[in-house]
Structure 1
Amino acid sequence: MKEQLTVSLLQTELAWEDPDANFQYLHTMVQRLQPGQTDLLVLPEMFTTGFSMNAPELAEPTQGKAYNWMAEKAAALQAVVTGSFIAEAAGQYYNRLLWVRPDGTFSHYDKRHLFTLAGEEQVYRPGRAHLLTELKGWAIMPLICYDLRFPVWSRNTMGYDLLIYVANWPSKRRTAWKSLLAARAIENQVYTIGVNRVGEDGNGYPHSGDTSVFDFAGAPLLQAADVESVFTLTLDPEKQDQFRSNLRFLDDQDAFQLH
């Protein structure tokens, strides 16, 4: 049975290609939360480095420094911590999201849609499978940034209750970011979260954040721009379940499979 779910969303600047600086700075931000205050902490895409193509210099094992930092915070907060970083496995590089639980166990998702405008597909391997995970009875699907533009990949055929995107989405395309998050919420009848960074990256691209939460009908519950903060709010499963029961749009989806 689903319980109310409290989520905390960390919108921050990121030091360019400097994991140690980011670990230290994000530590100070996470300290704003008390143990037991939240169930889930969501970090931006590539939270250790910014959106960098310098994988040969920055990649780390799946259970490297990023995992250790996330596991430490998950244990301290007694909450799941999630976000993506540059991972290396079997000689290949991945934009890899970790879902780290308080007991140190974890799952991962590799970004499916690589951002060709930045040459991401020339550096990283694409993911091949979704991650469907569970927290307090909620089925949750986390995705990464550019995945947002491809609605087929986020189709709610698996019966998930919460859709999450972690991102480094530049401010010049902020209208698309907010519009597509609302669209994903509406078409999938789910709470939808988008966590983005603020500040200018090492390539000179500014980011406005626009970290957002939309409900199952596309109504905004949170929209925050151009500020560093940790935003915490609680999601009500009963309202979503009732909405889906009254308006059974998901039953009428087209039936097809991805190959």
Structure 2
Amino acid sequence: MITAAAIQFTIKPGNVDANLAHARDALGRASDRGAQLVVLPEMWSCGFCGKSLAGLAMHTAAIAEELQDLSRRLGLVVVGSMPEPNGDRVFNTIHLIDNGRLAGIYRKVHLFSLLGEDRVFAAGDGCLLADTSIGKIGVIICYDLRFPELSRRLALEGAQILCIPAQWPKPRNEQWRTLLQARAIENQFFVVASNTCGMVGKLDFFGMSMIIGPRGDVLAEAGDRETEIVAGLDMRDMAEWRAQIPCFKDRRPELY
């Protein structure tokens, strides 16, 4: 049994120190509750800050080093996205940290053009499946959730847990829930998704961070306020479910 947590909080735009302090305390609380895997929201260190983003991205290397130290001391696998410098633009990048070790990075592939992400961010061109101390973890970021091909690729490559940092706003609450459950059901793996909450700039976020089992069952769900949710992930149960409903064996990829 693996214990997973999702940290949900209201990101303070541009205030790296305040966001880092909140994350530091929340990681400690999650560890005290037995968590081995913790997922933070998308762009948790500073939020989406437009013209200030390139400057704020210069803090990311130091924050990642502190996360590695916290991860080592607390015995955690930590997932969360931050801005990564890339010339006059930035990547929206996950640093996947495993007990102090940087196990990999993932740069958001699908940029949300409706809010102009493609004008500020550079798009990634690869995926990440990391073989960690608690199992094989795949990662995507927020809008990537709407593109099932990426999650399916990770599942086919062996992902047991899909981690999703997000900033998913109102009024698309039910789409969030449905898509998270769909990714879990169709790929028969665990989903740990962290969303932000409260007003961030002009956007209102509903929270609803979730931990979902391979049958689509909701193991833990947050409300709309700052919190940490925790649930156990039973890998043996996942294996039994995959054997009972052998979707991967019955695939016919030559037709699609």
TM-score greater than 0.5 by the shorter chain? yes
Matching residue of 1:182: 181
1:70 touches 1:82 (CA, 8 Å); kept in 2? no
The code of the aligned residue for 2:140 comes to L
Cα distance in 2, alignment partners of residues 39 and 31 from structure 1: 11
Q: CA deviation at 1:92?
A: 4.6
**Alignment of structure 1 residues 149-160 onto 2, 5 Å:** 149-155=146-152, 156-160=155-159
Q: Give the alignment's Cα RMSD to 1 decimal.
A: 2.0
Cα distance in 2, alignment partners of residues 252 and 133 from structure 1: 26
Matching residue of 1:172: 171
Structure 1 outlier segments of 4+, above 6 Å: none
Q: CA deviation at 1:150?
A: 0.5
Match of 2:251 among 241, 250, 253: 253
Question: Relative to 1, partners in 2 of residues 1:35 and 1:228: Cα closer, same or farther, differing over 3 Å?
Answer: closer
Q: CA deviation at 1:31?
A: 2.9
Matching residue of 1:197: 196
Identity within the alignment, %: 30
1:35 touches 1:78 (CA, 8 Å); kept in 2? no
Q: CA deviation at 1:91?
A: 5.6
Cα distance in 1, alignment partners of residues 101 and 160 from structure 2: 24
Q: Which structure carries more helix by proportion?
A: 2
Q: CA deviation at 1:49?
A: 1.0
Q: Which runs of 5+ in 1 are unaligned?
A: none
Q: Secondary structure at the match of 2:158?
A: coil
> Which range moves more in the overlay, 108-117 or 149-158?
149-158
Q: Secondary structure at the match of 1:221?
A: strand
Matching residue of 1:59: 57
Matching residue of 2:219: 221
Cα distance in 2, alignment partners of residues 12 and 36 from structure 1: 18
Matching residue of 2:204: 206
Q: Which runs of 5+ in 2 are unaligned?
A: none
1:53 touches 1:120 (CA, 8 Å); kept in 2? no
> Which range moves more in the overlay, 183-192 or 81-90?
81-90
Q: CA deviation at 1:16?
A: 1.1
Asked if 1:120 corresponds to 2:117, the answer is: yes
Give TM-score scaled by structure 2 length.
Answer: 0.91
Match of 2:238 among 237, 240, 243: 240
Q: CA deviation at 1:35?
A: 6.4
1:199 touches 1:206 (CA, 8 Å); kept in 2? yes
Question: Relative to 1, partners in 2 of residues 1:137 and 1:29: Cα closer, same or farther, differing over 3 Å?
Answer: closer
- Equivalent pairs counted in the alignment come to 252
Match of 1:42 among 39, 42, 46: 39
> Which range moves more in the overlay, 24-33 or 79-88?
24-33
